Chain A
Amino acid sequence: MESTAGDLHIANVTKRFGIFTAVDDLTLTIPQGAFFALLGASGCGKTTTLRMVAGLEEPTAGQVRLGDRDITRLRPYQRPVNTVFQSYALFPHLDVFENVAFGLRRRKVRQVASQVERMLALVQLEGFTKRRPAELSGGQQQRVALARALINHPQVLLLDEPLGALDLKLRRQMQIELKRIQTEVGITFVHVTHDQEEAMTMADTVAVMNAGRIEQLGRPAEIYEYPATAFVANFLGQSNLLAGEAAGLSGGDVLVSAYEQRFAVPAVRARADQGPVFLGVRPEKLALVADGAAVPAGHQSVAGVVTDSSYVGVSTQYLVRTGWGTELAVFAPNSGTAAPLALGARVTAHWDPRHAFILRREPGEGDRTTPVLDEPDAVGAVS
C-alpha cells in the first residue's frame, strides 16, 4: 500500500470502559486528503474511535499514528488534529470572531483578523463577527464550529455527528457545503455519523462499524451494491435476505437452495459457496409481474401475494408475502409504465441474478428482510 506522510493510521486499537469493549482491535488507514466516514449505530464505537484520534480518550491498547509520528499518548492540544463537536461546544462568553480565532491565539499566530475573515467567508458567515453563539441559529453555530476547527489547518479534521442537530433541509444543504469545503481545503476529514445517507453523500470511503469492529470498508457504491455482512446489508439501505444453503460452484455461479427452490448467483458476488448463506437482493432490484405473466429471460423469481403498498412519490413500496411466509420489500419506480398493484394480488417478484449477492449466515439464523439497527446479532425473524 502506498504511504503518504499525512496518512492517519489506527493500528490494533482497543478501548475498554470497565468490562465493556467499545473499540475492539481496530486497524484502519485513512489516506491523506480523504473524506472518510465512520458509519454505525449508536454505541458501535465510532465516536470513541474519533475521540482517541483527537486525544480525548486514551486507547487501552494499540497505536494511533499520523504519517510516521506516533500520537497515541499526546495530549489533545499537542496534536495537529481538530474536532467539530456534536454539541458544537462554542465558547458562550466569546463572540464569533474570538471563537474562530481561539486556536490561532493559543498558537500565537500572526494576522489573526485576516485569517478569521477569510474563514468566515468560507463558511458564509461574514458580518457575524460580533455575535455571541447564543444569538445564532443551529446552522450558523455549526458553521462557526467548523470555521473554528478549520482555521488551524489541521492535518486531520474530525467531525462528530456534526449535522445531527440540524433539521432535514439544513442538513442536506450543509452536506453539500461540507463536501465543497473539503474539496477546497484538501484536508483529511473523518466524519462520524449514524446517517447512512449522509455518509454516502459526502464520503469517498465509508467504514461501517458494529460492536467495536469494522464490518466493511469501501466506496459507498461498492458497499451498497455488494455488502459483506447481513448487518451492512440492512444498515446501509434495506435488503431482502433469504436463508438458504449453498451447494457449491457450477460454472461461474454459486448454487443456493432455499425453501425448495434453487437459485444461482455469480461467484464474484458470493461471500461463501458452501454451507448456510443468505441470498440477498435489494428491494429496488426486484420487479413485480402479475402471476403467470412472463418473467424476463435469465431472471430468477419468487411467487407471492401483495400484502401492503405505500406510495412515496418516486416509487411505490410493496410488501410481498412469499409462500413460506417471509415478506419481501419491493420498490417499484413510479415511471408510469406499470399499473399499480392491488392488495391481495398474486404476483411474481423477479430479479437479475447479477444483482443478487450471497452472504455468510450463522446456522439457524432466519430470513432478514427488515433493517435491524441496534441488535445486529439478533435473529431478524419476519412473520
Chain B
Amino acid sequence: MTLMTGIGAAPAGSARPARKSGRRWLPYLLLLPGTLWLVVFFFGPMLTLGAASLWDPAGSLQTGYAQTLSFGNYVDAVRDAGPQLLRSFWYAAIATLIGVIIGYPLAYAIALKAGRWKYLLLVAVVAPMFTSFLVRTLAWKTILSDNGALVGLLRDIGILGADGRLLATPIAVVLGLTYNFLPFLVLPLYASLERLDRRLLEAAGDLYASPARSFVKITLPLSMPGLVAGTLLFFIPAVGDYINAELLGNPNTYMVGNVIDSAFLVRLDYPHGAALSFALMFLILIIVMVYLFRSGTDEVV
C-alpha cells in the first residue's frame, strides 16, 4: 500500500509546478489596470506636455505649432516667470514652516495626549476636506475681508493700521496655503508619533533625560519619517498652487501656478506654459532630492 501511495503521488507532484506556472501571470494581471491608468493618464500627457514645451514659440493655436526642439523656451519661460517662481518657493517655505509650528504640536497632542478624544480630533483635522478646496478658500476670503471681524479686531488692537487689510496681501496667501495643506502634514506626522513606543520615553526619563531632552533625543528623531513625509506632502502642492494666490492675493502675490494658468488659458502660449511646468517639476525634484539626502535617507520610509 505504501508503494501504491508512492506511485499515486508522482503525477500529483508533477502537476504542482504546472499550476504554479499558471499563477505566475496573476501579479501582472493584477497590476494591469494601474499600469494602463498610468500610461494613459500620466505618461501620455507628460510626453505631450514635454513635446509641447519644445514647440516653435512663433506658432499659435490658429496656425498650429511646429516641433522645432526649441530649448530656448525654457530659458524664456524661467526668465519671464522668475519673480513668480522665487515667490512660489518662498511662500511655500514660509507656509511649511508655519505648518510645522502648528502641525507638530497638534499631531503630538492627538497621538500622545488626546486619550479618548483622539479619533474625534483626527476627524476634525480631515473634516475640512469634505468640502471643496475652492469653497474653503472662498470662505477664507470672507474671514479675511476688509469688513470682517478679524480685520476689525486687528485694527482695534493696533496690529493693523486704520486702513490696514489682510485680503490681497502676501499674508493672506501664506495663511491660505498653510490652512489648505495642513492636514497633509498632520496625518503622516500623527501616524509616526502614534507608533512611538512610550516605554522609550520612560526609559529616557529613567536615564536622566528631562522631558525636553527626551523630546529632542527620542521623540523628534523617531518622528522624522513622518515629519519628512508630511513636509513634502505639504510643500510640493503648495509650490504649484495658484488658487490661494488668485483668490486671496493680488497680481503682486501671483505664484508660478498663476503664470502657467494664464499661459495656457489666457495668453494661449502653450510652448512657454509647458516649458514652465517642466521647469517647475525639475526644480521641485532637485529640492526634494537634496532634502531627502540631508534628512538621512534611511529614516524616510
**Chain A residues in contact with chain B, CB under 8 A?**
54-56, 75-77, 81-83, 85, 87, 89-93, 102-103, 106-107, 148-149, 152
Contacts and interface: CB of A to CB of B under 8 A. Distances in A.
13 contacts: A54-B206, A75-B205, A76-B206, A77-B205, A77-B206, A85-B203, A89-B197, A89-B199, A91-B203, A93-B222, A93-B299, A106-B208, A152-B208
Contacts of B213: 106
A75 B218 CA distance: 18
Given A56-B202, A87-B199, A93-B221, 12 more contacts: A56-B205, A76-B202, A77-B205, A77-B209, A81-B206, A83-B203, A85-B203, A90-B203, A91-B217, A103-B207, A152-B207, A152-B208
Q: By CB atoms of chain A within 10 A, which of B197, B200, B208, B221 has the most?
A: B208
Please provide the 5 A-B residue pairs with the shortest distance between their CB atoms, ordered closest to farther.
Answer: A89-B203, A103-B207, A106-B208, A76-B205, A89-B199
A91 B218 CA distance: 7
Contacts of A93: 221-222, 299
Q: By CB atoms of chain A within 10 A, which of B200, B213, B222 has the most?
A: B200
Contacts of B199: 85, 87, 89
A87 B217 CA distance: 19
Nearest to B213: A106
A349 to B, nearest CB: 49
Given A87-B199, A92-B222, A56 B206 contact: yes
A38 to B, nearest CB: 18
Nearest to A158: B206
B208 A89 contact: no
A91 B202 contact: no
Nearest to A82: B206
A179 B46 CA distance: 69
A149 B205 CA distance: 12
Contacts, number: 59
A188 to B, nearest CB: 16
Nearest to B205: A76
Nearest to A56: B202
Nearest to B210: A77
Q: By CB atoms of chain B within 10 A, which of A77, A85, A107 has the most?
A: A77
A91 B197 CA distance: 10
B204 interface: yes
Given A91-B218, A93-B221, A93-B222, A102 B207 contact: yes
A172 to B, nearest CB: 26
Given A91-B218, A92-B222, A107 B200 contact: no
A148 B207 contact: yes
Nearest to A87: B199
A32 to B, nearest CB: 20
B117 to A, nearest CB: 20
Nearest to A148: B207
B285 to A, nearest CB: 28
A272 to B, nearest CB: 44
Contacts of B202: 56, 76, 85, 89
A82 B204 CA distance: 10
Contacts of A54: 206
Q: By CB atoms of chain A within 10 A, which of B206, B208, B210 has the most?
A: B206
Contacts of B222: 92-93
B272 to A, nearest CB: 47
Given A89-B197, A89-B200, A91-B200, A106 B221 contact: no
Interface string B167-206: 0000000000000000000000000000001011011111
B292 to A, nearest CB: 17
Nearest to A106: B208
A57 to B, nearest CB: 10
Contact of B208 (A85, A90, A91, A107): A107
A152 B207 CA distance: 8
Contacts of B221: 93
Nearest to A80: B208
B118 to A, nearest CB: 21
Nearest to B218: A91
A102 B218 CA distance: 11
A83 B206 CA distance: 7
Nearest to B224: A93
B115 to A, nearest CB: 15
A104 to B, nearest CB: 9
Contacts of A83: 203, 206
Contact of B209 (A85, A102, A148): A102
A152 B221 CA distance: 24
B261 to A, nearest CB: 43
Contacts of B197: 87, 89
